[in-house]
């Protein structure tokens, strides 16, 4: 990406960081301003991420708050927290004044509880402060937690001229006007208007004669993932948010939805990989350990469970020692099949493409497991017999056991996410180590049980 | 989501599907039209997905092409392919005429090679046909494959009045005007204009005096993931696409980017789960097997590799049989640690947050592995000694082996994605079964090697 006038190809170079560090160290304010003002706020945030907190704070205090408010929004949560801790309530309030209500509420919600009230009380624009307070009531994962109060709305009883005047005033506070929302005297959302409609209408027309009554909206307590699905499905760039009486409360724009989709995808990906909380590669070893150790412990207990199963069959070891060498194969196959099955179901649930009866889906997985199982069993049977010199009977036992384990793994991998989803639990928690661990244990149990059945030890 | 005027809460009911099926069976065209025209095209697509192809085709031919073109775009690729196969080139061309160039090119690119030319030749609007042909030259994964030719552009030498007139004509073909792009006489992108700027400017002003020379853009061969990163970072709703001479070629809008982000996330998720091609829960068993079997086979060969390692150490079985029962634990732990490490690195690479030296990162993973490893080893050591009655020496051997395996798994999981990324290979292919399988084999090898070293068998 470049900007044509000055041809900046943005890539943070070590040179740039050193340059900024040097200017800060020598408190060369004028040159810092000159250098940084040429960059987009998202780029400045990236630069500050690379400097230490003291220097970053110095820059934040130096630049004017119109710019720094946006820079703060772009920073990593950890860095932002550290910088805000060094600013006074008054200084934070000044930054907040420059932000849209949704961003402002996000930043304030990250502050310690006792500072939140203090900062809000320092905001000079009381309406802005009240809007932020309103937004703070909503959870992060519902429409209310994502919406901004900034929007352009007109009353159905206004005339077009009035409306245009009023709109101009409102539009100043709204970064991008996607739609003009029409409300009745009770602030109830009744329709929308496009800028084009308004320009075409006769100035003396009443809004009630020109507005479009068809308008998509979401309720304030709607889940954000559902909001993302709706906006994506209907290709909306903004959607109004209402309460249960259809009172217009705010609007959600597509850029917030992009962030939601990214975060959801990252969360699902991390859950599938057995990471329990949102972490990044640059987080501290302690934070990473807290995110990773819980799943490792679950896997460990699964491993100990498998150990006691094998221990319980140890008398068979002496008679059929070759059975033991295929334990890793059985376990790996069970794990892989389970993860595949659960991943497909979890994605289907997220996209609303998994419908229909659970039995039909399990039957399909059964068939799939049978097909994949037979393919793998034949190869393993041949290799075990000719390479590892197992007897015919042991080879066949291993083959049948593998088919059974694969089918069982596919069924467990399919059933658990659907079951969790029906119970209202995020099915993504069932992927990865959870499925792998339960399949490890069941897989080994089935393997030995079938061996016992056929070989009769 | 609802629409206020008729209060439709959209959810496909079995009743609705039956109703549509019945109307189609009785060829009750008027009622089909009445029923379906009340729905958004995305909803009609969902309804048609639930009916059989013949019925869906009937509806597509019945509705007018302005609506059906959009419905076709929303359909699942498989369903669309089947419906298009039943339409004549002329009929497809009529649908194409209604679509923006980017959507049109996407649909045509899905047709068999020999039909593509035939359909394009049937498009009446020759400029539209030429634009589509231009777009067909680009790969799906570069900016050119995502852009549309529809945009509003003005020449720097025009006056504001000329510009407004010209713009109105252009805007008819453009669904949403995000920005007006300014070009010089050679069609080179030199800046942009907002609608607001244009309205404020004096009618006799030249565009060259009022345009904003700062404009973000991407090159036509830029990777779509990079385009998505740029648009998300800078909160852009549209970005112009240029060739290496900065000639303006098209623009990409945020709704296309939303799709890219979703698809990328799904692809990474599926790769991590060991699914090699894009499949859905509703695909055929054959298609699902083709997507799943390859990874299962890789896992199987890993399992056979592990089998021969254990076989090689089989003389130790008789002396230290207890070592064998912890194989599943070693394997599961190695797999889980490897998947965690690789997932964090893959996400970091995707977000450009993984920077800095590879050695520093490996050192960090070493420390992490050490911390997690010691925690798990202590528990296993105690349980193996007291519950499974292993001797002190064997317990300590198992503990040390587990620490080593965890560290090794963390290093492999971190190194492989970074290595692949440096080689220009998508690091996501290294996640899931790939890491799990290599860690299975290495884990078991390390486990026995350390046991041999300490116990000296």
Tens digits of residue pLDDT in B37-71: 888 888 899 889 888 888 999 999 898 888 889 99
Residue B112, number of CB atoms within 10 A of its CB:
10
**Tens of pLDDT, residues B134-191:** 999 999 889 999 999 988 888 998 888 888 777 777 766 666 667 789 999 999 999 9
Tokens describing residue A72: 């703060």
Q: Do B273 and A380 touch (CB under 8 A)?
A: no
Residue B89 has φ and ψ, to the nearest 5°, of -55, -40
Q: Which two tokens stand for residue A331?
A: 């376990």
Could you tell me how many CB contacts below 8 A there are between chain A and chain B? Answer: 345
Start-to-end Cα distance in chain B: 69
Q: Average of pLDDT values for A338-350?
A: 87
Q: What is the pLDDT at residue B5?
A: 41
Token readout for B407 is 């560290």
Strand partners, B3: A216
What dihedral angle (degrees, nearest 10) is formed by the CA atoms of B228, B232, B233, B234? 110
**Is the Cβ pair A232, B259 closer than 8 Å?**
yes
Give exposure, B2-37, as e/b (b: 16+ Cβ within 10 Å).
bbbeeeeebeeeeebbeebeebbeeeeeeebbebbe
| Strand order, beta sheet including B180-183 | B152-155, B180-183, B189-193
Q: Which residue in A136, A100, A154, A139 sits closest to A227, CA to CA?
A: A139
> What is the pLDDT confidence band of residue A102, given thresholds at 50, 70 and 90?
very high
Closest partner CB to A321 (pick from B308, B314, B371): B314
The residue with greater pLDDT, A199 or B158, is: B158
pLDDT band at A172 (very low <50, low <70, confident <90, very high): low
* pLDDT greater at residue B196 or residue B339: B339
| Percent over 70 (pLDDT), chain B | 94
Q: Tell me the nearest-neighbour CA distance from B141 into chain A, angstroms.
A: 17
Q: Which residues contact B294 (CB under 8 A, 6 or more apart)?
A: B276
Nearest chain A residue to B270 by CA: give it. Answer: A343
Tokens of B442: 């290495």
Per-residue pLDDT, A4: 43
Q: Burial-class residue A7 by CB neighbours within 10 Å (0-12, 13-18, 19+).
A: exposed
Least confident range of A6-10, A422-426, B78-82 = A6-10
* Of residues A1, A16, A22, the one with CA closest to residue A47: A16
* pLDDT value for A6: 39
- At A218, list the tokens: 């979401």
Beta bridge partners of B247: B188
Fold assignment, B285-455: Tetracycline Repressor; domain 2 (1.10.357)
Q: Which pLDDT score is estimated for B9?
A: 47
Sheet holding A2-3, edge to edge: A2-3, B216-219, B238-242, B248-253
Judge whether residue A81 has pLDDT over 70. yes
The pLDDT value recorded for residue B199 is: 65
R_g of chain B computed on alpha carbons: 30
List the structure tokens of A367. 């068939």
- Tell me which H or E stretch contains A362: helix A358-386
Q: Which residues, 6+ apart, have CB-to-CB distance to B184 below 8 Å?
A: B155, B156, B190
Confidence at B4, pLDDT banded by 50, 70, 90: very low
> Which pLDDT belongs to residue B428?
82
What contacts 24+ positions apart, CB below 8 Å, involve A118-125?
A: A118/A89, A119/A89, A119/A92, A119/A93, A120/A93, A121/A89, A122/A89, A122/A90, A122/A92, A122/A93, A123/A93, A123/A96, A123/A97, A124/A93, A124/A97, A125/A97
Asked if the model's pLDDT at residue B220 lies above 60, the reply is: yes
In this prediction the pTM is 0.79
Give the CA distances from residue A140 to residues A80, A106, A351, in Å, rounded to whole numbers and listed in that order. 18, 9, 21
User: By CB neighbour count within 10 A (0-12 exposed, 13-18 middle, 19+ buried), where does B74 fall?
Assistant: buried
Distance (Å, rounded) from C-alpha B150 to C-alpha B162?
20
Average pLDDT over residues A163-175: 70
> Tell me, what's the pLDDT at A175?
64
The stretch B326-339 carries a mean pLDDT of 91
Whether residue A407 has pLDDT greater than 90: yes
Architecture of domain A152-256: Roll (3.10)
Contact A3 B216 (CB under 8 A): yes
Query: What average pLDDT does this structure show over A150-174?
Result: 79
Strand arrangement, sheet containing A216-219? A248-253, A238-242, A216-219, B2-3
Q: For B278-290, what is the mean pLDDT?
A: 84
CA distances from B380 to A299, A324, B53, B377 (A): 12, 21, 58, 5
Domain A14-141 part of CATH 2.60.40.2310: no
| Closest C-alpha among A410, A416, A334, A412 to residue A369 | A410
Comparison of pLDDT for A336 and A321, the residue scoring more: A336
Mean pLDDT calculated for residue range A428-434: 77
Of residues B392 and B167, the one with the higher pLDDT is B392
B285 neighbourhood in chain A, CB within 8 Å:
364, 367-368, 371
Quote the distance between the C-alpha of residue A180 and its chain's center: 30
- The answer to whether the beta carbons of residues A411 and A337 sit under 8 Å apart is no
Nearest to B281 among A262, A274, A354 (CB): A354
A333 contacts B295? CB cut-off 8 A:
no
CATH topology of domain B14-142: MgtE N-terminal fold (1.25.60)
Instruction: Give the residue with greater pLDDT, A188 vs A14.
Output: A188
| pLDDT at A401 exceeding the cut of 70 | yes
Answer for the pair A98, A148: CB distance below 8 angstroms, yes or no: no
Indicate the pLDDT class of residue A181, thresholds 50, 70 and 90. very high
**Chain A residues close to B300, C-beta within 8 Å:** 329, 332-333, 376, 379-380
Give the one of A261, A314, A437 whose C-beta lies nearest to B321's C-beta: A314
CA distances A145 to A100, A252, B76, B233, Å, are: 13, 10, 32, 21
Chain A residues in contact with B324 by the CB 8 A cut-off are 310, 317, 324, 327
**Dihedral, CA of residue B266, residue B270, residue B271 and residue B275, to nearest 10:** -140
B353: left (phi over 0), alpha (psi -120 to 50) or beta: alpha
What's the rounded mean pLDDT across residues B336-363? 83
Q: pLDDT tens digits, residue range B401-424?
A: 999 999 999 999 999 998 888 888
Q: Contacts of residue B234 in chain A, CB cutoff 8 Å?
A: 1, 40, 42
Cα(A411)–Cα(A334) distance, rounded to whole angstroms?
A: 11
Determine the residue among A192, A328, A352, A381 to mutate to test chain B binding: the one whose Cβ has the most chain B Cβ atoms within 10 Å.
A328
Indicate if the pLDDT at residue B243 is higher than 90.
yes
In chain A, CATH 1.10.357.20 covers 285-455
Q: Is residue A2 over pLDDT 70?
A: no
Percent of chain B with pLDDT over 90: 37
User: Does the pLDDT value for residue A5 go beyond 50?
Assistant: no
CB < 8 Å to B246, chain A: 4
Alpha carbon of A351: minimum distance to chain B alpha carbons (Å): 10
Average pLDDT, rounded, for chain A? 86
* Structure confidence at residue B324 as a pLDDT band (50, 70, 90): confident
Query: What is the mean predicted confidence (pLDDT) over A333-354?
Result: 85
**Residue B408, exposed/middle/buried by CB under 10 A (0-12, 13-18, 19+)?**
buried
φ, ψ for residue A212, nearest 5 deg: -100, 115
- DSSP-assigned beta bridge partners for residue B250: B241
Q: How many CB atoms lie within 10 A of CB A448?
A: 21
Which residues of chain B are in CATH 1.25.60.10 domains?
14-142
Which has the closest alpha carbon to B406: A328, A289, A309, A435? A289
B42 and A234 in contact by Cβ < 8 A? yes
Q: Which of B235, B328, B348 sits opposite A306 (nearest CB)?
A: B328
> A137-151, A275-289, B292-306: which range is least confident on average?
A275-289
Q: Please indicate whether, in this complex, the C-beta atoms of A340 and B295 are within 8 angstroms of each other.
A: yes
| Two tokens, residue B155 | 């020449």
Sheet holding A189-193, edge to edge: A152-155, A180-183, A189-193
B contact test, residue of A14, A273, A431 with most B CBs within 10 A: A273
Segment A82-98, tens digit of pLDDT: 999 999 999 999 999 98
Token representation of residue A66: 């119109």
Tell me the angle at which helices B358-386 and B327-350 cross, rounded to the nearest 10 degrees: 160
Q: Which residue of A has its CA nearest to B290?
A: A372
B404 closest CA partner among B374, B382, B434: B374
pLDDT at A8 over 50: no
Average pLDDT, chain B: 86
Of A214, A328, A371, the CB nearest to B444: A328
Pairwise CB contact (< 8 Å): B433 & A40: no
Cβ neighbours of residue B13 closer than 8 Å, sequence gap 6 or more? none
Confidence of residue B221 (pLDDT cuts 50, 70, 90): very high
Which among B344, B368, B415, B447 is the top mutation candidate for probing chain A, defined by the most A β-carbons within 10 Å of its own β-carbon?
A: B344
**Ranges in chain B annotated CATH 3.10.580.10:** 152-256
- Distance CA(B419)–CA(B426), nearest Å, equals 10
- E strand segments, B292-373: none
Coil, strand or helix at B218: strand
Stretch B301-312: mean pLDDT:
91
B224: Cβ contacts below 8 Å, ≥ 6 apart? B140, B141, B142, B143, B145, B146, B260
- Give the start-end residues of each E strand in B120-247: 152-155, 180-183, 189-193, 216-219, 238-242
Confidence band of A174 (pLDDT split at 50, 70, 90): low
* Among the listed residues A239, A424, A266, the one whose alpha carbon sits nearest the alpha carbon of residue A349: A424
Categorize the per-residue pLDDT at B10 as very low, low, confident or very high, splitting at 50, 70 and 90.
low
- A-chain CB neighbours of B1 within 8 Å are 216-218, 230, 234
* Contacts of A387-394 spanning 24+ positions with Cβ under 8 A: A387/B308, A388/A322, A388/A325, A388/B307, A388/B308, A388/B311, A389/A322, A390/A322, A393/A454, A393/A455, A394/A320, A394/A322, A394/A323, A394/A455
Instruction: Give yes or no for residue B203 having a pLDDT over 80.
Output: no
The answer for residues whose C-beta is within 8 angstroms of residue A123's C-beta and 6 or more apart is: A93, A96, A97, A129, A132
Report the pLDDT value the prediction gives residue B7, as an integer from 0 to 100: 37
Task: Give the model confidence (pLDDT) of A59-70 as tens digits.
Answer: 998 988 888 899
């Amino acid at each position: 990406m470049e900007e044509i006038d000055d041809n900046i190809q943005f890539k943070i170079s070590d040179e740039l960081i050193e340059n900024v560090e040097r200017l800060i160290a020598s408190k060369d304010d004028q040159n810092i301003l000159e250098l940084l003002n040429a960059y987009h706020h998202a780029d400045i945030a990236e630069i500050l991420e690379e400097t230490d907190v003291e220097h970053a704070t110095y820059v934040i205090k130096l630049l004017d708050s119109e710019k720094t408010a946006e820079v703060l929004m772009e920073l990593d949560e950890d860095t932002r927290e550290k910088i805000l801790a060094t600013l006074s309530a008054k200084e934070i309030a000044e930054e907040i004044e420059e932000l849209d209500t949704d961003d402002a509420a996000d930043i304030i919600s990250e502050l310690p509880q006792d500072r939140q009230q203090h900062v809000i009380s320092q905001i000079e624009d009381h309406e802005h402060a009240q809007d932020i307070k309103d937004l703070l009531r909503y959870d992060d994962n519902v429409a209310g937690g994502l919406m901004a109060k900034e929007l352009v709305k007109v009353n159905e009883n206004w005339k077009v001229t009035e409306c245009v005047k009023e709109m101009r005033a409102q539009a100043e506070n709204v970064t991008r006007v996607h739609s003009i929302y029409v409300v009745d005297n009770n602030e109830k959302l009744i329709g929308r208007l496009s800028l084009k409609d308004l320009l075409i209408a006769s100035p003396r027309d009443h809004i009630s004669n020109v507005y479009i009554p068809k308008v998509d909206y979401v309720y304030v307590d709607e889940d954000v993932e559902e909001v993302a699905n709706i906006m994506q499905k209907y290709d909306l760039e903004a959607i109004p948010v209402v309460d249960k009486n259809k009172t217009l409360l705010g609007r959600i724009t597509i850029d917030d939805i992009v962030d939601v989709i990214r975060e959801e995808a990252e969360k699902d990906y991390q859950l599938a990989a057995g990471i329990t909380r949102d972490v990044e590669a640059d987080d501290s070893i302690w934070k990473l350990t807290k995110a990773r150790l819980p799943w490792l412990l679950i896997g460990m207990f699964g491993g100990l469970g498998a150990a006691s199963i094998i221990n319980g069959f140890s008398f068979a070891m002496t008679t059929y020692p070759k059975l033991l060498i295929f334990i890793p194969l059985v376990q790996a196959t069970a794990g892989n099949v389970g993860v595949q099955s659960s991943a497909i179901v979890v994605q289907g649930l997220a996209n609303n493409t998994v419908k229909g009866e659970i039995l039909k889906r399990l039957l399909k997985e059964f068939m799939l497991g049978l097909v994949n199982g037979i393919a793998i069993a034949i190869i393993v049977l041949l290799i075990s017999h000719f390479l590892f010199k197992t007897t015919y009977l042991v080879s066949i036992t291993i083959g049948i056991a593998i088919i059974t384990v694969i089918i069982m793994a596919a069924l467990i991998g399919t059933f658990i996410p659907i079951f969790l989803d029906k119970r209202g639990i995020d099915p993504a928690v069932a992927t990865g180590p959870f499925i792998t661990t339960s399949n490890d244990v069941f897989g080994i149990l089935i393997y030995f049980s079938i061996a016992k059945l056929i070989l009769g030890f």
